[in-house]
């Protein structure tokens, strides 16, 4: 009987010290029938030599270089990995994620009771706090998982997924952020069959670094987030226009839109990025006139520093970002 092959796809760009631990966690798997496809996104020559040395003793691991004609970024690397994957199932890792040693073995055993699904969702925890899940399950209905992604509260990261290689869904190579969100929205809107294991022990871990905590205030990072969010909205309405006629899902898009506004636009008073978001909102009728007016006035009050002045109505109009 043919033994199931799992393809593990990892885009890598620098950060070799973290990547060594990621690779070690793969080599330590109790299930041995896997292949690991590393796709380099332009690391330095010295870093590539280190990667080659790390994988030289294991024929299951291959290193690919992103061709120069391909767009730079993790998504392009993931798509290259998908094209080359020979496995029955796909697992996506970032270069600083870590797998529990039992991850692949337990996933394959667990899905035996639920055959013929297109993808499966497992639990991921934080590496520095393994009792806390990265996954967020607000509701039990599948449609509500879609609502979570639309409202910028992702139900699961892509590392949680075990995806059949028969699924023909790829990553948007133009997205710099919201990559997991876009991919999972496409899976859900594709009417694919899936099973989610909510009460299972986490089998993979997300690393929180000082860089990931500090970049929230970085101008370049903020611009990348907002531009990517605008692209994500264009994608969402292209993928799921029929789904988005439902009032609840449109409300979810609105919640996500306001969350990005108050997290990235408002604290830094980014007017040009605010205008970019407004253009997308006008295009898809995301907000009503009252909401447009309130967000505009909030931006004006914050920009001139009068939000704490009594009697100008700031508390009333700011309800939209407090709800």
Q: Can you give the residue ranges of every domain in the chain? A: 6-208, 214-322
Q: Do β-strands 34-40 and 61-65 pair in parallel, antiparallel, or remain unpaired?
A: parallel
User: Which element (helix H / strand E) includes 161?
Assistant: strand 161-164
- The correct CATH number of 6-208 out of 3.40.640.10, 1.20.1260.10, 3.40.50.300, 3.90.550.10 is 3.90.550.10
Contact in structure between 118 and 191 (CB atoms under 8 Å):
no
Instruction: Give 270-279 contacts, CB < 8 A, sequence gap 24+.
Output: 270/222, 270/223, 270/226, 271/299, 271/303, 273/222, 273/223, 273/226, 273/227, 274/299, 276/226, 276/227, 276/230, 277/226, 277/229, 277/230, 279/230
Beta-carbon contacts of 89 under 8 Å, excluding residues fewer than 6 positions away, are: 4, 5, 6, 7, 108, 162, 163, 164, 165
Count of residues making up the chain: 323
What proportion of the chain, given as a percentage, has pLDDT over 90? 43
Distance CA 108, CA 105 (A): 5
Highest mean pLDDT pick, 22-31, 234-243, 250-259, 309-318: 22-31
Average pLDDT along the chain: 87
Contact in structure between 143 and 118 (CB atoms under 8 Å):
no
Give tens-digit pLDDT for 192-243. Answer: 899 999 889 999 999 886 665 556 667 888 899 999 999 999 888 887 666 6
96: which DSSP letter? T
Q: What does the buried/exposed string (b/e) look like for 308-323 if buried means 16 or more CB atoms within 10 Å of the residue's CB?
A: eeeeeebeebbebeee
Contact in structure between 34 and 111 (CB atoms under 8 Å):
no
Q: Whole-prediction pTM value? A: 0.88
Give tens-digit pLDDT for 57-93. Answer: 899 999 999 888 888 889 999 999 999 999 999 999 9
Query: For residue 323, is pLDDT > 70?
Result: no
Query: For residue 143, is pLDDT > 60?
Result: no
Tokens of 27: 């080599």
Give me the half-sphere count of Cα atoms (radius 13 Å) on the Cβ side of residue 124. 26
DSSP string, 167-206: ------TT-SS-HHHHHHHHHHHTT--EEE-TTS---EEE
pLDDT band at 15 (very low <50, low <70, confident <90, very high): confident
Q: Looking at residue 179, what is its pLDDT?
A: 92
């Amino acid at each position: 009987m043919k033994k199931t092959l799992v393809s593990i796809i990892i885009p890598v760009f620098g950060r070799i010290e973290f990547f060594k631990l990621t690779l070690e966690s793969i080599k330590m798997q109790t299930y041995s029938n896997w292949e690991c496809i590393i796709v380099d996104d332009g690391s330095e020559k010295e870093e590539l030599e280190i990667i080659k040395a790390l994988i030289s003793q294991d024929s299951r691991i291959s290193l690919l270089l992103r061709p120069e004609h391909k767009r730079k970024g993790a998504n392009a690397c993931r798509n290259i990995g998908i094209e080359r994957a020979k496995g029955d199932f796909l697992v996506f890792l970032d270069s600083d994620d870590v797998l529990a040693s039992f991850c692949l073995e337990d996933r394959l055993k667990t899905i035996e009771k639920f055959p013929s699904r297109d993808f499966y969702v497992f639990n991921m925890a934080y590496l520095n706090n393994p009792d806390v899940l990265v996954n967020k399950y607000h509701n039990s209905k599948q449609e509500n998982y879609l609502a979570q992604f639309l409202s910028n509260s992702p139900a699961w990261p892509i590392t949680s997924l075990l995806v059949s290689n028969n699924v023909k869904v790829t990553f948007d190579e133009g997205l710099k952020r919201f990559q997991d969100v876009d991919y999972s929205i496409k899976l859900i809107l594709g009417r694919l069959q899936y099973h989610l294991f909510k009460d299972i022990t986490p089998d993979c871990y997300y690393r929180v670094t000082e860089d990931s905590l500090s970049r929230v205030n970085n101008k370049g990072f903020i611009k990348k987030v907002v531009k990517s969010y605008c692209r994500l909205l264009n994608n969402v309405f292209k993928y799921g226009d029929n789904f988005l006629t439902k009032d609840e899902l449109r409300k979810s898009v609105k919640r996500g839109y306001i969350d990005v506004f108050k997290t990235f636009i408002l604290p830094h008073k980014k007017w040009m990025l605010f205008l970019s978001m407004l253009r997308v909102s006008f295009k898809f009728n995301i907000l009503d006139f009252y909401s447009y007016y309130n967000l505009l006035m909030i931006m004006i009050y914050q920009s001139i520093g009068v939000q704490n002045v009594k009697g100008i109505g700031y508390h009333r109009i700011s309800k939209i970002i407090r709800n």
